[in-house]
Amino acid sequence: NAGVTQTPKFQVLKTGQSMTLQCAQDMNHNSMYWYRQDPGMGLRLIYYSASEGTTDKGEVPNGYNVSRLNKREFSLRLESAAPSQTSVYFCASSYRNTEAFFGQGTRLTVV
């Protein structure tokens, strides 16, 4: 079972570069999430999508954009990367906000 698949697993960007983090789930879940995890800060919600075609800002949305391409895919875009966006990014999905299933994460370094 694939579950939630994130790509890439690792990425190094220069300040000002852009990139898109991809996420796909095969569990037919309605809700999808993007979190970032920093030491001592826990998981902080960046953006959230309750269903295909809808997105909402979370706790830390500045500097990010998202697209819910279809029910399976939810991408996160950094338009102009900054060192403060160095983090581990997790995508997750759930059925009606019950158990959340997470991907393995993307480790992003912005230099």
Partner 1 sequence: TQLLEQSPQFLSIQEGENLTVYCNSSSVFSSLQWYRQEPGEGPVLLVTVVTGGEVKKLKRLTFQFGDARKDSSLHITAAQPGDTGLYLCAVKRAYSGAGSYQLTFGKGTKLSVIP
Identify the CA nearest to 83 among candidates 47, 51, 56, 109. 109
Residues 1, 28, 62, 98: which binds partner 1 (CB under 8 A)?
98
Task: Rule CB under 8 A: say whether 34 interacts with partner 1.
Answer: no
* Beta strands 106-110; 10-13: pairing state: parallel
**Min. distance of Cβ 73 from partner 1 in angstroms?**
17
Q: Which is nearer to partner 1, 26 or 56 (CB)?
A: 56
**Is residue 18 within 8 Å of residue 78, measured between CB atoms?**
yes
- Would you tell me how many other CB atoms lie within 10 Å of the CB of residue 67? 14
For 27, the token pair is 């569990």
| Candidate list 41, 69, 82, 111; residue touching partner 1; CB under 8 A | 41
| Stretch of 19-27, 66-74, 78-86, 100-108 lying at the interface with partner 1 (CB under 8 A) | 100-108
